Amino acid sequence: MKRTLIRCAVLLILLGAVPHRTLAAGEQQATAPTLREIATDSLQQLCGGRLSLYTLGDGIWLEVPTCELRLTAQLDRGAGMRNRVLPSLPPFRLETDPEAGVARLQIADTLRSREFGTTPLPLARIAGSERLLADIHECLYNSGLWYECSEGILRNRRYGHEALLGVEPTADGMLVRIGVWYDVESPDRSTEVLISSGALPLEISFSLTAGDAGEEVGSDSPKAGKESPIEVVVGSTLPEEYADVLRQAVAEYNRRHRLMPLQPVSGEEVIPLTTPYGISYDASAERLAVHTLRSPEQEMPTFVRINLGAGSWEQEALRHSLRQASSYRTLRQMLTDAQIRRRDCLTDRFTMMLEEAFGTTPEQFRPTPEPLTEKRLAREFRNLGKRMNLWERFMREESSHLAGSDPEIPAVALYDAMLSETQQLYAQMARQSRGMSLQSEMLEWIVRGVIADAEGRFSTPFLRDNGLTATPRETARRQSKIWEEVLATVTPESLAGIPELFRQMLEEPGEAVFAMQDGFLGELIRQLDAHPEFVPVAEALERLYTRLADGSGSATALFADLERQRLEKIRTENQ
């Protein structure tokens, strides 16, 4: 449990941007320094070329260029992570205000749209010239000004513990490596996770490139061809099992892309940000992450980072076996051999990963999709029903024996894999049937399938006796996710028959019907603002529940009265 908590805390770190230091009570915002002359001999130049970087005391100063800048950031190592590309800014400029003695980061496309951060960057002039320098010390160490992240989880930076690890010139700019240290705080901000060393070190690389908007990191990558295959650097920490599977995936990719072959080469633990193509392994819970930069003028991507995580692939391998099973015997065989199950899953995912990163399948290898027709949809519908029956029979007759003979497949893991796969199938069939006459029938099939899942379609006496089946809360969460995806694709016309279907189901015994309708109604209400076309369905359901809430005291009448009140409240609030 302790290991899990620490791991979760570590993984949450990279989701957030580093905030600025908050002002203490009564503290005033520091005023921007006035423009001042800096003697040339007091500057130490770190990097020449198209961009010039200097140090002055503890500051890091960038000579303000006249061209657009691009920035790519990578977490080289720290917190169990390696070579993780961080979301970067679009092309930007350093806009200067010599009278105020400050510079600001501005998006290049819309220079006056907004400013990044509230703290101005001090500006200075080299003595005896018109050359301006902007102090980017805080930008680099705070990092939040240079890239944006979705959540502010990373907090409590240890000020005064930063370090400039190195600066290297590149063909189009420079590479800056810094070290920063953080205390770690839990996401709910109520408790603090204390690291034994007192701080968490991170090493981050910034590649700052000067040039046109179309230029990216790795834009000077070699052209692909039969005589010069593209080199993909593989980090030294990649496990041998992953390396074997990767070699198979590369061989399959090269078979499909004979004119754009790949060649894996061994690399170090940290792949430099200036390396165009890299594959690495770290301790992230994210099992697979692909980051690609493409230029419209080039056939190959200009920059690729593929990160393979240490998270368990077992659940995904189980689901892969479920998708591949075509018969009862095939399902039994695929689930029995753990090594084959895992290897097949990894090979399939790695091949897809390379296709996603380096290009699409050539026309001669891309299967021509069969036009989506009512006949084809009906056939897929029937096949899906057969697959559901296959899984249900397997869980009822064989799952307990399999779980007992193969310790890598706990019964609850197989149960969760079944439910997770059905959840995706429900959403898939709803998307495919959109706009077709079969959608109403498909929706009814999903409704009845959700009820069957809640009643334990894939449950067994072993699971129930040991309390391993889904709790009501977990069932509600799964159903909410299903309805969120289904309602995002269905048409209002296909929902016209829902009130009558719900009325018929309420005449049948079983409390799972109540849970299904409650979950559907909750998601329908949440989507009313974005989809006002669903309002007639909500009104029809309100009339149905009003009619069924007859005060008889039955379970159905009590349920209908609660749902009636719920819909009535929403309707009156929106009037």
In the prediction, which pLDDT does 1 show?
Answer: 37
**CA-to-CA dists, residue 253 to 225, 348, 536, angstroms:** 14, 11, 51
**CA-to-CA dists, residue 379 to 80, 382, 386, angstroms:** 47, 5, 11
Q: Cα angle vertex 461, ends 458, 465, to 5°?
A: 120
Q: Is residue 297 left, alpha or beta, with left meaning phi > 0 and alpha meaning psi from -120 to 50?
A: alpha
In the prediction, which pLDDT does 369 show?
Answer: 66
Please count the CA atoms within 13 angstroms of the CA of 4 that sit on its side-chain side. 1
**CA-to-CA dists, residue 279 to 247, 261, 284, 354, 544, angstroms:** 12, 16, 14, 10, 57
**Selected residue with higher pLDDT from 571 and 360:** 571
Q: How far apart (Å, rounded) are the C-alpha atoms in residues 544 and 104?
A: 60
Q: How far apart (Å, rounded) are the C-alpha atoms in residues 51 and 253?
A: 38
In the prediction, which pLDDT does 435 show?
Answer: 85
pLDDT (mean) for 6-12: 34
CA 119 to the chain's CA centroid: 31
Question: Could you tell me which residues are beta bridge partners of residue 210?
Answer: 69
Contact present, 175 and 167 (Cβ < 8 Å): yes
User: Tokens standing for 551?
Assistant: 């005060």
Contact present, 82 and 237 (Cβ < 8 Å): yes
Q: How far apart (Å, rounded) are the C-alpha atoms in residues 465 and 7?
A: 32
Q: How far apart (Å, rounded) are the C-alpha atoms in residues 552 and 242?
A: 63
Lowest mean pLDDT among 128-132, 155-159, 161-165, 288-292: 155-159
User: Tokens standing for 493?
Assistant: 């016309």
Q: How far apart (Å, rounded) are the C-alpha atoms in residues 256 and 277?
A: 19
**CA-to-CA dists, residue 27 to 21, 22, 24, 100, 139, angstroms:** 12, 10, 5, 22, 21
Sort strands 132-135 and 44-47 into parallel, antiparallel or unpaired: unpaired
Q: Does the pLDDT value for residue 496 go beyond 70?
A: yes
In the prediction, which pLDDT does 567 show?
Answer: 94
**Percentage of the residues of the chain whose pLDDT score is greater than 70:** 80
Query: What does DSSP assign to residue 42?
Result: G
Q: How far apart (Å, rounded) are the C-alpha atoms in residues 284 and 13?
A: 11
Side chain identity, residue 43:
L
Helix (H, G, I), strand (E, B) or coil at 125: strand
Q: How far apart (Å, rounded) are the C-alpha atoms in residues 518 and 504?
A: 15
Q: What is the pLDDT of residues 339-397, one digit of tens each?
A: 888 899 999 999 999 998 987 655 656 666 677 889 999 999 999 999 999 999 998 88
Side chain identity, residue 38:
I
Helix (H, G, I), strand (E, B) or coil at 11: helix
Q: How far apart (Å, rounded) are the C-alpha atoms in residues 422 and 409?
A: 19
Q: Cα angle vertex 352, ends 348, 354, to 5°?
A: 120
User: Tokens standing for 158?
Assistant: 């240890």
Q: What is the pLDDT of residues 229-272, one digit of tens each?
A: 899 999 999 999 899 999 999 999 999 888 889 999 999 999 99
Residue 264 contacts by C-beta under 8 Å, 6 or more apart in sequence? 231, 232, 234, 246, 247, 250, 279
**Selected residue with higher pLDDT from 129 and 23:** 129
In the prediction, which pLDDT does 520 show?
Answer: 95
In the prediction, which pLDDT does 461 show?
Answer: 85
In the prediction, which pLDDT does 200 show?
Answer: 75
Residue 505: φ, ψ to 5°: -70, -30
**Selected residue with higher pLDDT from 264 and 310:** 264
In the prediction, which pLDDT does 5 show?
Answer: 33
Q: What is the pLDDT of residues 28-70, one digit of tens each?
A: 444 444 577 777 778 888 877 678 888 887 788 999 988 888 8
Q: Where are the beta strands (DSSP E) in 211-297?
A: 230-234, 262-266, 277-281, 288-293
User: Tokens standing for 532?
Assistant: 């006002």
Q: How far apart (Å, rounded) are the C-alpha atoms in residues 358 and 509?
A: 54
Q: Does the pLDDT value for residue 196 go beyond 50?
A: no
In the prediction, which pLDDT does 155 show?
Answer: 54
Q: In which band, very low, low, confident or very high, does the pLDDT at 157 lie, cut at 50, 70 and 90?
A: low
Helix (H, G, I), strand (E, B) or coil at 328: helix
Side chain identity, residue 61:
W
Residue 44 contacts by C-beta under 8 Å, 6 or more apart in sequence? 54, 55, 56
**Selected residue with higher pLDDT from 305 and 93:** 305
Q: How far apart (Å, rounded) are the C-alpha atoms in residues 327 and 279?
A: 36
Straight-line distance from the first to the last Cα atom of the chain, in angstroms, rounded to the nearest whole number: 50
User: Tokens standing for 566?
Assistant: 């719920």
Contact present, 346 and 313 (Cβ < 8 Å): yes
Q: What is the pLDDT of residues 267-305, one digit of tens each?
A: 999 999 999 999 999 877 677 889 888 877 777 888 999
Helix (H, G, I), strand (E, B) or coil at 97: strand
DSSP codes, 487-526: HTT--GGGGTTHHHHHHHHHTSS-THHHHHHHHHHHHHHH
Q: Does the pLDDT value for residue 82 go beyond 60?
A: yes
The mean of the pLDDT values for the chain is 81
Residue 240: φ, ψ to 5°: -60, -40
Sort strands 303-308 and 277-281 into parallel, antiparallel or unpaired: parallel
